[in-house]
């Protein structure tokens, strides 16, 4: 990571080029005149996002339940020890992983299929694209309702009517397969996002390479797997990374479709932390879970950010 920052710093430094010849004071003034426009946004972001997190760390070291105002005392790492023996937390963590992986993987495949189908001239292409991106624009609260009631309801849901046509008994999806229900709704919401990113990748493809492949007599499938897919890799990585950032924080669908149930069978970490904080009023425990989630996120993001910066740097060089 440090080597990456170094090279970028050097590149930034060469950008200031002519300034090096001037007096140090002029340079400092120049530096501040450059920095000044950035400061409002930077300070605002630090105050609103970083300070609360410092407080979260502080809360996580305390035993603090809003229902017991006298009980706000320092307990060190006790909250963390409790969490590691909390089986519901483990279930929620596992569900977070399953939901994120399931949703991102299926949405990526579906999105790629749609993108490939859209990447050619045909009648009504604009309309088809418009239809396909719509699920992403529907308010998540509305689409949660749409899926849990209109689509998956056992007595009058559309999905149950459709599977009834081929003779399958109605299924009470949201209680017998809660995770699957949530993933279905999420895939529906996030496929358009994947599709748009991959479509951008397809349209950025070098056309001469495709032509060369076709000259060499490569069939469609061969061209796709050997030429197109490698070129799409960056875009897919980006889609997976950004999709994961959003999907891992899923709250709306779980809150509205399954309420984490039955029991805690479909609770993910955001939902479980919400429950502990706003229904259990256990600020200390909830904060400690938040800290653990952030540490896990940092570990994963350190790898993920390398990807995003790699594609970012490549583009700058191009």
Partner 1 sequence: MSTTTLDTPRDSQTTGRRDIVKPRRKGVVSGGVLTTVTWILALVFFAPVAWMVMTSFKQENVAASNPPAFFFEPTLDQYKAVISSDAGPYFLNSLIATGVSTLLVILLAIPASYALSIRPVKKTSDVLFFFISTKMLPIVAVIMPIYVISGQLRALDSIWTLVILYTAMNLPIAVWMMRSFFQEVPGEVLEAASMDGAGLIKTLRSVLIPMVTPGIAATALICVIFAWNEFFFALNLTAAKAATVPVFLMSQMTSEGLFLAQLSAASVLASLPVVLAGWLAQKQLVRGLSMGAVK
Size of the site for partner 1 (CB under 8 A): 108
Q: Nearer Cβ to partner 1, position 56 or 231?
A: 56
- Near partner 1 by CB under 8 A: residue from 75, 105, 218, 301: 301
Q: Nearer Cβ to partner 1, position 150 or 176?
A: 150
- Near partner 1 by CB under 8 A: residue from 102, 247, 252, 254: 252
- Near partner 1 by CB under 8 A: residue from 147, 178, 183, 186: 147
Token pair in block for residue 165 = 């046509």
**Per CB under 8 A, 286 contacts partner 1:** yes
**Per CB under 8 A, 22 contacts partner 1:** no
Residue 263: left (phi > 0), alpha (psi -120 to 50), or beta? Answer: left
**Per CB under 8 A, 97 contacts partner 1:** no
Q: Which of residues 183-212 bind partner 1 (CB under 8 A)?
A: 188, 191, 193, 196-197, 199-201, 204, 211
**Per CB under 8 A, 291 contacts partner 1:** yes
Q: Which of residues 253-282 bind partner 1 (CB under 8 A)?
A: 255-256, 269-270, 273-274, 277-278
- Near partner 1 by CB under 8 A: residue from 2, 49, 87, 317: 49
Q: Nearer Cβ to partner 1, position 21 or 36?
A: 36
**Per CB under 8 A, 293 contacts partner 1:** yes
Rounded to 5 degrees, what angle do the CA atoms 230, 233, 236 make?
145
Q: For residue 116, give the nearest of 194, 209, 206, 218 by alpha carbon.
A: 194
């Amino acid at each position: 990571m440090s080597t990456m920052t170094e090279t970028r710093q050097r590149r930034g430094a060469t950008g200031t080029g002519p300034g090096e010849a001037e007096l140090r004071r002029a340079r400092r003034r120049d530096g501040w005149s450059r920095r000044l426009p950035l400061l409002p946004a930077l300070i605002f972001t630090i105050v609103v996002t970083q300070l609360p997190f410092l407080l979260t760390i502080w809360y996580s070291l305390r035993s603090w339940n809003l229902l017991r105002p006298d009980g706000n005392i320092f307990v060190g790492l006790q909250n963390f020890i409790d969490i590691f023996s909390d089986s519901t937390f483990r279930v929620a963590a596992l569900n977070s992983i399953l939901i994120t992986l399931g949703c991102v993987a299926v949405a990526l495949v579906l999105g790629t299929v749609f993108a490939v189908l859209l990447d050619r001239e045909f009648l009504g292409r604009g309309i088809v694209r418009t239809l396909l991106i719509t699920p992403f624009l529907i308010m998540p609260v509305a689409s949660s309702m749409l899926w849990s009631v209109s689509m998956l309801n056992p007595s009058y849901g559309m999905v149950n009517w459709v599977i009834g046509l081929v003779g399958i008994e109605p299924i009470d999806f949201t209680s017998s397969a809660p995770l699957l229900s949530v993933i279905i709704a999420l895939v529906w919401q996030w496929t358009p996002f994947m599709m748009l990113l991959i479509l951008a990748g397809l349209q950025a493809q070098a056309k001469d390479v495709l032509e060369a492949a076709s000259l060499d007599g490569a069939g469609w499938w061969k061209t796709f797997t050997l030429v197109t897919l490698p070129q799409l890799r960056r875009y897919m990585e980006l889609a997976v990374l950004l999709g994961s950032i959003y999907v891992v924080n899923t709250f709306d669908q779980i809150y509205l479709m399954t309420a984490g149930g039955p029991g805690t069978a479909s609770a993910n970490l955001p939902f479980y932390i919400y429950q502990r904080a706003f229904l259990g009023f256990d600020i200390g425990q909830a904060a400690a879970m938040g800290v653990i989630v952030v540490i896990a996120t940092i570990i994963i993001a350190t790898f993920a950010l390398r990807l995003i910066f790699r594609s970012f740097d490549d583009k700058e060089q191009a």
